[in-house]
Amino acid sequence: MTSASHILGEKLGFVKSAQTLRPVLGNGDPIPMFPYSVIEYLMNMDLSGYDVLEFGAGNSTMFWAPRVKSVTSLENDPEWHTTLQAMNLPGAELHLVEKGKMANYATGLGKKFDVISVDCGENRYHPAKASLGMLKEGGFIILDNSEWYPNTSTLLRESGLLQVDFYDFRPCHHYRTATSLFFDRKFAPKPKGQRMPATPIGGREQNPLGWDDPEG
């Protein structure tokens, strides 16, 4: 039988991510530095028509690029910017932005997005506030480490978005964290596969008891 530590350490890639300090699944696929529950939630939605804006680039940019219509990433670390730029990720547009200027820079893009991820290495309140004016109907904002940003969480929640908090382990960190998704009330997710939710990584394929039968 697969143990819980095998699922976390190997299948979800916790060991490989900690060794390389780059978040990846056990199969080597790049993932954001988000709780695993958020990553699986995103992996199992059809995001192919989505325009994504990221405050803070990383392996997340590699995660989004093949899944979405476009990903625009704002980054203030020149080394990360160069590393990601060199990958020529299809559909990804990277912008090197001076620290403290991300909110204004994003507003200046004059574009709206279906998903906005607030996960930058600078103040997150101002990018989150700017995101409210850039979110498309039916979209959502991701606030990473939301437990550390109560003012930012309150701002987003009180703007009328629906807050859902995810708590879990995440790659590269030896403690558990929260990430909150703030959904526009018209959000209507499209499943990527036959089922939503899909079977979790390390989960069981089927309920052997057949208790999902409408005629049962």
Ligand X SMILES: C[S@@+](CC[C@H](N)C(=O)[O-])C[C@H]1O[C@@H](n2cnc3c(N)ncnc32)[C@H](O)[C@@H]1O
Under rule CB under 6 A, which residues in 33-92 are in contact with ligand X? 33, 54, 56-60, 75, 77, 80
Q: What burial class does residue 92 get, using C-beta atoms within 10 Å of its C-beta: 0-12 exposed, 13-18 middle, 19+ buried?
A: buried
Residue 8 or 116 having the CB closest to ligand X: 116
Q: Which residue has the tokens 């056990």?
A: 26
Q: Which two tokens stand for residue 181?
A: 């998704």
**Contact region for ligand X (CB under 6 A) — 94-102, 117-125, 130-138, 198-206?**
117-125
Q: Binder to ligand X among 32, 35, 127, 139 (CB under 6 A)?
A: 32
Query: Hey, which residues between 121 and 160 contact ligand X (CB under 6 A)?
Result: 121
* Pick 6 or 101: Cβ nearer ligand X: 101
**Residue number with CB closer to ligand X (21 or 86):** 21
Burial class (CB in 10 A: 0-12, 13-18, 19+), 106: buried
- Collect all residues with Cβ–Cβ distance below 8 Å to 176 and sequence separation of at least 6: 35, 167, 168, 169, 170
Q: In this complex, which beta carbon is closest to ligand X, that of residue 95 or of residue 208?
A: 95
Kindly state the number of chain residues that form the binding site for ligand X, as judged by CB under 6 A.
17
Question: How far apart are CB 75 and ligand X at their closest, in Å?
Answer: 5
Q: Is 118 in the site for ligand X (CB under 6 A)?
A: no
C-beta of 75 vs 184, nearer to ligand X: 75
Nearest to 202 by CA among 38, 67, 13: 13
119 binds ligand X (CB under 6 A): yes
Q: Which residue is nearest to ligand X (CB)?
A: 58
| C-alpha to C-alpha distance for 59 and 20, rounded to whole angstroms | 12
Distance CA 185, CA 109 (A): 25
CB 37, CB 56: distance < 8 Å: no
| Contact positions vs ligand X (CB under 6 A) | 21-22, 32-33, 54, 56-60, 75, 77, 80, 117, 119-121
